[in-house]
Structure 1
Amino acid sequence: MATTATPVRDRILEAATRHYYAEGIRAVSADRLIAEAGVSKVTFYRHFPTKDDLITAYLSQQVAYAEELLTEKRAELAGDPAAVLRAYAEGIGALACAPGFRGCPFINAAAELSQPDHPGHRVVVDHRDWLVGQFVELLMELGVGDVRAKAEQLMMLRDGAMVAGYVGRTPQAVAETLTAAGRSVIGC
């Protein structure tokens, strides 16, 4: 599979990103993406030999964006893990209540790609492991005990906060509730 970014590859991936997120991965056909990207089948399959290659590229792009945001926030707030966690909660609140929000792309993909051997499933699992690892590091900086279990609990709270935006909560309410629940878990 070609991994070098080209305008054509980017166009295909942009179409996939829009439709996979809005409608679901399985609901979108290659023919639909080919038409929207304005490419031939030969060109499409030159860049993405299988639909799984395109799914993996889509999810990898989402992972890169999400991980970059948290990495940047950690650098910006270095030495203040509590501020990083608060900023993360605020970001989740804003995201979950944003117009057009259709759920966490990783949770959505995991529901559709439940087979553990699917390459897209592996991308989701690896990203979630990375995020839990970030929580572990932040909790260690805070001096909290039982960091692995508490990091997993924070991950579950994050997943629930993603749903809260669907039920008419405001970004501030989601962030405040997530922060308060996180403090209960952490014990501070």
Structure 2
Amino acid sequence: MVRSESESRPSEARSRLLKTAIRVFYAEGIHAVGVDRIVAEAQVTRATFYRHFPSKESLVVAYLNEADRAIRGQADAAVAAGLPAADTIRTISASIAEGIRSPGFRGCAFLNAVAEYPDPDHPVHQAVLAHRQWFLDTITGLLAKIREQPAEPAARHFVMMRDGAMAAGCLFDPALVCETFLRGVEGLLKAHAAPSYTEPADM
């Protein structure tokens, strides 16, 4: 069925609002940008804004959901390539490094958001936690394919290295930060693949 112009306009307006939010929230911070600014730059009315997003916080959650979808897409593509688990982690790491080196990089959108919404019960905070749990679970699953134990501690180590690289990447030379991060990933993979130390049997 062909949709009329009046039927298609709301989705177009929502897209403009979300694209505007993605750009300004990431570049300038969430609390620093008000609804009036987003409405003006998206070229919609306040009524249109509230028809699509009941509150600014609902727009923030939608912004984070878009960021989550993009990162999941990268991870899914890496997994779908069918490479060994270690190479899949290297591919994911390379995409992280590419993001750090990209123009306008300003750190992790999720860590930036949770710093502005510290209440653990707030929907924005919950969206951040859900994304990070998914990412931890994804890395844990990949590391478990290399060696089952201790996959989760190693995955937490990976996430901490990733967080550090994302924080340092907007403060220092991105190329050096990425080199350090990728070298750390290689060290983690090597250590994780090595068998656990066991006490020698009595002679």
Does 2:101 correspond to 1:97?
Answer: yes
The correspondence for 1:124, drawn from 123, 128, 136, is 128
Residue 109 of structure 1 aligns with an amino acid whose one-letter code is A
SS in 1 for 2:174: coil
Does 2:27 correspond to 1:22?
Answer: yes
Q: Aligned residue for 2:151?
A: 147
CA distance in 1: counterparts of 2:112 and 2:29, whole angstroms: 8
Which of the pair has the greater relative contact order for Cα pairs under 8 Å at 6+ separation?
1
Does 2:111 correspond to 1:107?
Answer: yes
- Gap change, CA 1:9 and 1:118, over 3 Å in 2: same
CA RMSD of aligned residues (A): 1.7
Does 2:185 correspond to 1:176?
Answer: no
CA distance in 1: counterparts of 2:101 and 2:35, whole angstroms: 30
- Gap change, CA 1:183 and 1:62, over 3 Å in 2: same
Would you say the 8 A contact 2:146–2:193 is kept in 1? Answer: no
Q: Residue by residue, what CA displacement relative to the aligned partner does 1:121-177 show, whole Å, maximum 9, x if unpaired?
A: 111100100011011110110014111111111110111111232310317514533
SS in 2 for 1:27: coil
- Gap change, CA 1:174 and 1:9, over 3 Å in 2: farther
TM-score, reference length from structure 2: 0.84
Judge which range, 44-53 or 178-187, deviates more. 178-187
CA distance in 2: counterparts of 1:185 and 1:110, whole angstroms: 31
The correspondence for 1:85, drawn from 89, 104, 114, is 89
CA distance in 1: counterparts of 2:67 and 2:179, whole angstroms: 25
TM-score, reference length from structure 1: 0.90
Gaps of 5+ in 1: none
Would you say the 8 A contact 2:18–2:59 is kept in 1? Answer: yes
Q: Which runs of 4+ in 1 moved over 6 A?
A: none
Residue 12 of structure 1 aligns with an amino acid whose one-letter code is L
* Count of residues paired in the alignment: 183
Specify the structure having the higher radius of gyration (Cα). 2
Does 2:78 correspond to 1:73?
Answer: yes
SS in 2 for 1:100: coil
Residue 45 of structure 2 aligns with an amino acid whose one-letter code is S
Would you say the 8 A contact 1:164–1:174 is kept in 2? Answer: no
CA distance in 1: counterparts of 2:140 and 2:12, whole angstroms: 39
Q: Aligned residue for 1:44?
A: 49
CA distance in 1: counterparts of 2:182 and 2:21, whole angstroms: 34
Gaps of 5+ in 2: 1-9, 195-203
The correspondence for 1:136, drawn from 126, 135, 140, is 140
CA distance in 2: counterparts of 1:178 and 1:90, whole angstroms: 12
CA distance in 2: counterparts of 1:185 and 1:135, whole angstroms: 15
